[in-house]
Amino acid sequence: MNQDNLIYLKNLFSNGFFGAVSLGMNFTQVRALLGEPTFEYQYCTEHLELFYGNIQFSFRGQVLSEICWVPNHLTYNIDLPSVGSKAIDPWIIWNGLTLIEAESELMCNGIEFRKVTVPKYLTFESDSVIELITICNARLIFRGYLNWFLEKFSLSSQFKMDTSKEVFLEYYNY
């Protein structure tokens, strides 16, 4: 495996880069770096989703606004992150990663983070959510119904480490 083409997920959580891809890029730049997507979905002129394996790149107004790992919600199998033909070093992302393990790994690696707890009565699915948001706005999302195992991760321009808890609560209470 060519180490130059390897995407390190640790970088996503420590500095906000998914390989050479970062928020704010346009879809032409992302395609130039990653090639043709596995799947593409545009549900209105301002919203485009590119999928590379089970990694989703969301564009709003032609600007990359979120990078998200999308586990298979149809089978409830938590597949490891994949991005089509490129190799990924998953770092701490594995099947069965617990909230406690994630907190420990972030601390051991010197990655600053904030913990936000959303009570179950405020979530759309009536289940508690805990998010760990790193200094570069990457989010590790854990759900109570999964016994606090990792549900997904996301790097988003919508949520930042200093985003108020009220904004998180409002998001989950849509």
Residue by residue, what is the 3-state secondary structure of the chain? CCHHHCEEHHHHHHHCCECCECCCCCHHHHHHHHCCCCEEEEEECCEEEEEECCEEEEEECCEEEEEEECCECCCCECCCCCECCECEECCCCCCCCEHHHHHHHHHHCCCCEEEEEECHHHCCCCCCEEEEEECCCEEEEEEHHHCCEEEEEEEECCCCCCCCHHHHHHHHCC
In the prediction, which pLDDT does 161 show?
A: 66
In the prediction, which pLDDT does 124 show?
A: 60
Report the greatest alpha carbon distance in the chain. Answer: 47
- 10-residue averages of pLDDT along the chain (174 residues): 73 91 94 91 88 89 88 57 79 84 94 84 68 88 77 74 66 52
Amino acid at the residue 36: E
In the prediction, which pLDDT does 74 show?
A: 46
Residue 75, both tokens:
């089978």
In the prediction, which pLDDT does 75 show?
A: 47
CB contact at 8 A, 55 and 64 = no
In terms of Cα–Cα distance, which of 4, 5, 7, 2 is closest to 93? 7
In the prediction, which pLDDT does 123 show?
A: 58
Q: Please provide the size of the chain in residues.
A: 174
In the prediction, which pLDDT does 151 show?
A: 77
In the prediction, which pLDDT does 1 show?
A: 45
CA distance 65 to 74: 25
Residue 131, both tokens:
């998010």
Counting the structural domains of the chain, the total is 1
What is the domain extent for residue 15? 3-172
Residue 32, both tokens:
């130039």
